[in-house]
Structure 1
């Protein structure tokens, strides 16, 4: 029986991870975020009520799981405190169940200002960031002058470190990007206030995870974004600033490879992408518009419309291999209900090997295999026997092409709308 399960997106994000984390969290003693920041959003629908989470693990909507934020996550204190307040106003206990790694890097107002200034300066070459300061704060972390939550909670240490960081960013804003600098005193006051509010929730996440593991408890690791946005293995430079692949679990939470028993890869039955960057199977036609409309394809965090296209089995197979995916969960199959035929990308033309950067990705032209569509509605199905034969054939073909079994099928946003062929926790 698996005790530690990792949930990862295997496309460009927005695959429906939040709903699956919420579902499996009922079997978990702890749910852990290990990378990313509040640039990601998980949308959950429980008892007809919609909740969007950004930093707090999706297990918070259960009454059991301890929710932990690992050192690989970058934290915007104001956003986190706002999210806590929103949940608690809805009657959900958060502060007593939430643990934050003291080593989490802190996103300050200067990081957000720098992020927006850079995107503006790039013009037509903009990466398509959310402007939330994610990239600049990871840069500070790598440059070894970043502010951590532990610093925020220690007024003397904060005062010693903050001035240099703000001077550096203000210099860039004023002299390179010709943007307005930040008020140092105001940023310092905000940081000190936020540190005081978050201090009771700080803990040693890594130690807690290893203690739970030794006790035989069930752990659930929750990824943000998708594997194709990984800074090392994605469509660079149109990627996020962290490792969204399985290696990020180890560095961002402090566990070893042997502590992971099962990797569940989440993928849509088609493909979507938010923001800029290459997308070989993108559709700018009626089929793409139909997917966007039926799939309600708008970003949970930014509200930006998602680009839509046919399933890319070449990219998905690559992500299955990189992440050691044990089983897949396919989401939004119902969006393809009623199509006379559906297509799957089975190869690329124009490149000699799998693309490793945006330039190679831009040359990749999809080679499609056409599969007959199916009649009938797959939305809300909970029994595999009720799947139309054409839909079942589509699933079988995906398994063959990507070299991984489909263990779960999400058939709607509601928690109970699933077909489970094999449960990750056994």
Structure 2
């Protein structure tokens, strides 16, 4: 007996529309989500772009990472710093969701919320939903993170290429994702279920880490007491994230925004490994970190600075260890929101932007901090890599190779004009416009926004 399948059969397939009792065609994908992702090594200004889009969003979601990320948003002269909370939490008319792909340090979450509440972020707890499938970061994970970094430094680079240290934020993110991958981690749903069972599993997890790190000391009873207190404050926020997202996608029309943390070159699979984060911060992380089918992905906006920065250790082909780098660092106030470390600075690298586009399929680019280049006599852009004098056709996976590449540059005359007051395309000098056109033509992606300052009003919308 043979079975055949026709387009008509597929068209006739149906399923209940969420919460309606009616049938819905499987061809009806529901609402599309807009995804905002970093296109470099992070710190590109994603928070500002998310804040701009969140003013019209119904739901704003974080899909991966933890409080190792840092987004700064300036609204009405007030500067808000977000690490775990979605930047869209500022919009009092939207709902914010921390998805299952995020690892949550509860003390950090509430400290962050309370700190921003003092700045004017009112009612954030009532607007926040936390997925019950999200894994927890514990204080001892953070201690282990530091111990691992010390151990790597002691290895003197033997196991990690050119440098023993990875440059981790020491927020416990890697160890928490390791617990998740080894299937010994604890989730929000575990914390809110049977606390006696949670306590047993927590003690076992501590013992496992102490077996690996004898220097690790944990006051287990004190930690459990605090976790019990946090659990009661957290409980009203917790929902089944999968079902919530399904309702949002297939119920009444909603504008859904997904906010990526970290950036493409820090992705655990596609970034400059091992100098990366521990999650997928490319577009696939939006699907796995929220339970969104790929069919529901709409626009994917990449965010890039008009130059390049990087916090921590790892290859950085266009880095400028000279007066140019110092000028970019000073004018751009390039200090990590999470780490407080100065960012390394260099010319814009279009090799990595094209690579990020290959992975994510950007439909538009937000180019931030153009105004930082206003004083430059000339501006360089990296367009290709060479090894032994020959162009290589790809972004290398091996960090030893990436450290050795020679960058081929295009040079542009500086515009030597203050752009910070520009609010539309025609306000920009012709030389700045030429620089922007070159970037979008080389990458093959249109530039949708141009940032010329800190505040929401300083984003020039192109189309």
Partner of 2:68: 39
Partner of 1:411: 452
Q: Secondary structure in 1 aligned to 2:270?
A: coil
TM-score, normalising length: structure 2: 0.88
Q: Secondary structure in 2 aligned to 1:136?
A: helix
Shift of residue 380, structure 1, vs aligned partner? 3.3
Q: Is the 8 A contact 2:103 2:134 kept in 1?
A: yes
Is it true that 1:117 corresponds to 2:147 in the alignment? yes
Partner of 1:18: 47
Partner of 1:137: 176
In 1: Cα distance, 2:443 partner to 2:99 partner: 31
Shift of residue 373, structure 1, vs aligned partner? 1.3
Partner of 1:227: 264
In 2: Cα distance, 1:206 partner to 1:357 partner: 37
Deviation by residue 1:352-381 (Cα, 9 ceiling, x = unmatched): 442113222212221111111113111131
Structure 1 pair 331/181, CA: closer, same or farther in 2 (3 Å)?
same
Q: Secondary structure in 1 aligned to 2:130?
A: strand
Is it true that 1:166 corresponds to 2:206 in the alignment? yes
Structure 1 pair 242/349, CA: closer, same or farther in 2 (3 Å)?
same
Partner of 1:93: 123
- 1:11-410 aligned at under 5 Å gives the runs 11-91=40-120, 92-123=122-153, 125-154=164-193, 155-174=195-214, 179-214=215-250, 215-350=252-387, 352=392, 353-410=394-451
Shift of residue 88, structure 1, vs aligned partner? 3.1
Q: Is the 8 A contact 2:78 2:119 kept in 1?
A: no
May I ask how many residue pairs the two structures share in their alignment?
418
Shift of residue 194, structure 1, vs aligned partner? 1.6
Q: Is the 8 A contact 1:87 1:94 kept in 2?
A: no
Q: Is the 8 A contact 2:144 2:216 kept in 1?
A: no
Deviation by residue 1:142-161 (Cα, 9 ceiling, x = unmatched): 00110111111221331231
In 2: Cα distance, 1:114 partner to 1:19 partner: 33
Shift of residue 236, structure 1, vs aligned partner? 0.2
In 1: Cα distance, 2:329 partner to 2:423 partner: 24
Deviation by residue 1:84-104 (Cα, 9 ceiling, x = unmatched): 222333441111110000111
267-276 or 58-67, larger mean C-alpha shift: 58-67
Deviation by residue 1:26-49 (Cα, 9 ceiling, x = unmatched): 110000000000011100111111
In 2: Cα distance, 1:337 partner to 1:58 partner: 28
Q: Secondary structure in 2 aligned to 1:253?
A: coil
Shift of residue 3, structure 1, vs aligned partner? 4.4
* Higher Cα radius of gyration: 2
Query: Structure 2: where are the runs of 5+ without partners?
Result: 1-30, 157-163
Q: Secondary structure in 1 aligned to 2:209?
A: helix
Q: Is the 8 A contact 1:344 1:368 kept in 2?
A: yes
In 2: Cα distance, 1:143 partner to 1:107 partner: 14
In 2: Cα distance, 1:194 partner to 1:140 partner: 21
TM-score, normalising length: structure 1: 0.96
Q: Is the 8 A contact 1:238 1:358 kept in 2?
A: no
Q: Secondary structure in 1 aligned to 2:400?
A: helix
Q: Is the 8 A contact 1:53 1:83 kept in 2?
A: yes
Deviation by residue 1:237-291 (Cα, 9 ceiling, x = unmatched): 0000000100000000110111111001000000000000110000011111000
In 2: Cα distance, 1:273 partner to 1:232 partner: 18
In 2: Cα distance, 1:95 partner to 1:261 partner: 28
Query: Structure 1: where are the runs of 5+ without partners?
Result: none
In 1: Cα distance, 2:352 partner to 2:284 partner: 18
Shift of residue 206, structure 1, vs aligned partner? 2.3
Q: Is the 8 A contact 1:40 1:224 kept in 2?
A: yes
Q: Is the 8 A contact 1:44 1:51 kept in 2?
A: yes
